[in-house]
Structure formats: C-alpha cells, structure tokens
Amino acid sequence: MSKQDGSSRQVTTGPVDDSATPILHVDMDAFFVSVELLSRPELRGKPVLVGGTAGRGVVSAASYEARRFGVNSAMPMSVALQRCPNAIVLRGDYRKYTEYSKRVMAILGDLTPIVEPLSIDEAFLDVSGARRLHGSPAEIAWTIRDRVRTETGLACSVGVAASKYVAKVASSRAKPDGMLVVPAAETLAFLHPLPVSALWGVGRVTEESLARLGLRTIGDVAAMPPEALERAVGPALAGRLSRLANGIDQREVSLQRSERSVGHETTFGHDLTDPDEIRRALLGLSTNVAARLRKAGLTGRTVVLKLRYGDFRTVTRSRTLGEPTDVARRIYEEAAAALDDLVGDGARVRLIGVRAEQLRPSGGTALWDPDEEWRDAERTIDRVVAKFGRGAVKPAALVGRDGSGAVAGARFRRPLDDDDESGPDRG
C-alpha cells in the first residue's frame, strides 16, 4: 500500500504487489548539499545552496528548505538569493561528490550486477536475478536505503516499477527519503493523473504546445488521437509520448553506458553583443568539444548549438553532417552557420553551448576525407597540449583570450529532453 501526504510526495508504507516490478531507480536526495552537510551538521534544516557566487554563478544544488522559496538547480545564483535572501551558499567540491558517488554505486553493485549509472547521483538497477539472495524488489529497495544511510550518512529515494520510465517517475514522487512501488497492474492508474511535465521529453515549450490542445495530464495524452498529437509536437516526439503515456517502455537496464553527447557551454560575465566576440567564444567551445572527442576516441555526426539570450530565452539548433567528425574546424563551421540565424542586431547573448551528438567510435574513414589535413594538425596540437599543458597551442583568434567565457563547463552526458533546463543535482 502507498500513501500521499499533503504535498505531492507519495510513498509505499505496507505490503504491495512487487512480483512484476524488477526495475529500480535510485536517486540521491539533494546530493551535493547533503554531502556538504555531513561536515557541517549545524546547517541542517537551513536553506543551503551549492554553486558559484561570482559573476553569473548558478545553483548546482539546493536543500529542500531552499526549494520552498522556489529555488532550484541551474537557476542563476542572483535570482536564487533574491527569492531566498537568507540562503547559505557553499562552494562545491566535485572530488568529494565523486568519492561518495563511488561508495553509493558500490552498494548498488553488491545487490545486483545489473546497474546502469545515469549520473553522479542516480542509477537504474535490474534485480530480477537478485531475489533469491536479497529478497523481493521492495525488500531490496529498503535494503538500499538503509545501507546508503548507514554507510554514507546520506539519504536516497527509490522507485520500483515494471519499467525504467515508471521507476524514475516513482522515485521523484517519493522524494525526499522515500520509496514507492508501482505494481505493474496499477501502472496506468499511477501515471494518468500526473501532469504532462512528468513525461520524458516534455519541457516548458512542449508543455505549452500540449496545453494549447487542452492536454494537461498524462491521461489526456494517452487518450489523444495520434494524428492530432503528431500535428502538435511532430511524429517522433508524439510516438514517444504516446508510448510513455500508456506505460510502454521496453528499454532494458544496460551495463554498457555509452556516452550520447559531448558538450561544452559557457555563461558570460556580461551579455555579449559583439558578433566577433560571440564567434570567438564559439570557436573556443568547438575546439574544446573536438579535443574531448579525439581523447575519447569518438566522432559526432550532429552538431548542436545552444544559445541563451539576456532575457533567459533559450534556443537550440542542430545540423547533421554527411560524415561524423572530431575536427574543431568542421564543428565550428556548422555551429557558426546555425548561429547566423539566431544573432541579429541588438541581440544580447548570455550563454553559448556547443555539443556533438550521434557519437560513434572513430577509425572508420570515408573514401575522401575533406578534413584529413585539419584532423592531422589538430592531433598534433593534442600531442603538444598533452606534453606542455592546455593553452600551449590554440587558434590564433583565441590567443590572449580564454576562448570560452567566464563560467565554463564541460561534460560527457546522456541526452536531456530537448527543452529540459534541469541541472545536474535535481534530487
């Protein structure tokens, strides 16, 4: 059985049919903040933020006390402090977070060998083969929560369901520090009352498109004729939303976590209006993306440009190449072509990001490779950088400049929803 408290939190409190629910989603609660509070127990119960304060720093994580003021991850720190002036801001320590993440993942690996990490603070598990040793899925979920708390001092929430999607939704409903089992037979009864924003692929823009059709719940989407849904959001997204809304998700928990995109983005200390400055930043980001692709032995076929204006409006544009590449010149040219349509007179640019998608291992070569000379030159630069450090060699346009901006970040990541603006520590 499960119960729902005065908020949207929903947890399992008694016996429940978990016989056909082998998929678990484990999500750490306010992970970065929680790790910091281990050494600062006097801050428990107070609004605490982790992130940068200089210039245009952003919130990496917020305690639940801070979230009550409308603060969330990825929000500009200046906005967060306006909403919650009494918030205590701490600088993050990624090495410490990584160490705790390894400890949590080791606990999960003790209970089942089938663990698929999604990020530093969440993972999917398939416990089909673990029943004989560790009990039913619900019992394993309880064990995980108990061991994580005992062995790390941290709290996590666990969703238990018949599929990955429903398990992830369940863990979010159980937050903080809860466990929710969704019996397979009750999947649609669980999903259909939820808002459309609970569907993967529905961010603010898509939610507004669905709202114009009167679709406000997952049940509304499930009942929508496919043709009408396709006209609203396109055939690819319509098909995915329809399947999820009807509880259909056949993806298995994967032991092989392949990276789906490589990206860099930067938030500037002040809005950029000079087209030359914007292009220099774009060149720096493209150079960094290409270098990371080559280091990982990957190439990308799609180049995605992300642009955030001074009013926080965010747009993305993608361009797909005939052949995948790991060459900065090619990535920059494609991103710059997309940029031309987005930066007009008077445009104020707050953030630029570049990422490569549709990744595949490098090594396959076309009969005619127009980027061969550039690739050779950039690989030579890689060797120089490996010997003398970053900054030893860079494009002439970037000499004397950082080429990317004041607040930069690089990441290997799985794809986010097309218009999802969530940060790395959503729990």
Q: Distance between alpha carbon 426 and the CA centroid of its chain, in Å? A: 9
Gap between the Cα atoms of 259 and 117, Å rounded: 11
- Estimate to the nearest angstrom the gap between the alpha carbon of 289 and the chain centroid: 18
Which ranges of 248-369 does DSSP label H, i.e. alpha helix?
275-296, 328-340
Query: What φ, ψ does residue 229 adopt, rounded to 5°?
Result: -65, -40
Catalytic option among 36, 122, 265, 334: 122
E strand intervals along 162-276 = 179-181, 261-272
Are 374 and 381 within 8 A, CB to CB?
no
Q: For residue 172, give Cα distances in angstroms to 205, 272, 275, 320, 349.
A: 21, 37, 42, 34, 33
Closest CA to 119 of 252, 27, 254, 202: 27
Tally Cβ neighbours within 10 Å of residue 188: 14
Residues 144/25, Cβ–Cβ less than 8 Å: no
Q: Is 27 marked as a binding-site residue?
A: yes
Task: Name beta bridge partners: 152.
Answer: none
3 state SS of 319: strand
Dist. CA 209–CA 196, nearest whole Å: 11
Separation of alpha carbons 301 and 317, rounded Å = 14
By DSSP bridging, strand 156-161 and strand 179-181 are parallel
345 secondary structure, DSSP code: T
User: What is the DSSP pairing of strand 2-4 with strand 10-12?
Assistant: antiparallel
Determine the Cα–Cα distance for residues 35 and 226; give it in Å rounded to an integer.
45
122 assigned to active site:
yes
Nearest to 191 by CA among 219, 216, 167: 219
**Tokens found for residue 156:** 């996590």
| 121 annotated to bind ligand | yes
Give every CB contact of residue 48 below 8 A, 6+ residues apart in sequence: 33, 36, 37, 62, 63, 65, 66, 87, 88, 89, 90
> 14 - beta bridge partners?
none
Distance from chain centroid for Cα 20: 28
**Residue at token pair 């059709």:** 213
Catalytic residue set: 122
Q: Could you tell me which residues are annotated as the binding site?
A: 27, 121
Q: Could you tell me which residues are annotated as the binding site for Mg(2+)?
A: 27, 121
